[in-house]
Amino acid sequence: MSTSDDTPAIEPAAEIPGETPVQRALRLKKAALEARAKPPRGGRFQREQAAKIAAGKSRPWMSK
């Protein structure tokens, strides 16, 4: 919960003085990427990812 004495977070659409349009676009893009759902970390998901075939394993003639 937030209280009234907490400092408010910068909203993505808020104007920042001296900010160029390119800087604003980059800030909005980063905010959108941070807001996206992240894949689960650890546990079964991580084991499944680690169990995939390594890139070199599909070419047995490359190893000796």
On whether the CB atoms of residues 57 and 63 are closer than 8 A, the answer is no
Output the pTM of the full model: 0.43
Q: Is the dihedral of CA 13, 18, 22, 23 positive or negative?
A: negative
Using alpha carbons, list the distances in angstroms from residue 54 to 20, 31, 40, 57, 61: 44, 33, 21, 5, 14
What confidence tens digit (pLDDT) does each residue in 19-58 have?
A: 999 999 999 999 999 998 887 777 777 777 777 766 666 6
Over residues 14-21, mean pLDDT: 87
Over residues 2-20, mean pLDDT: 66
Helix (H/G/I), strand (E/B), else coil: 13: coil
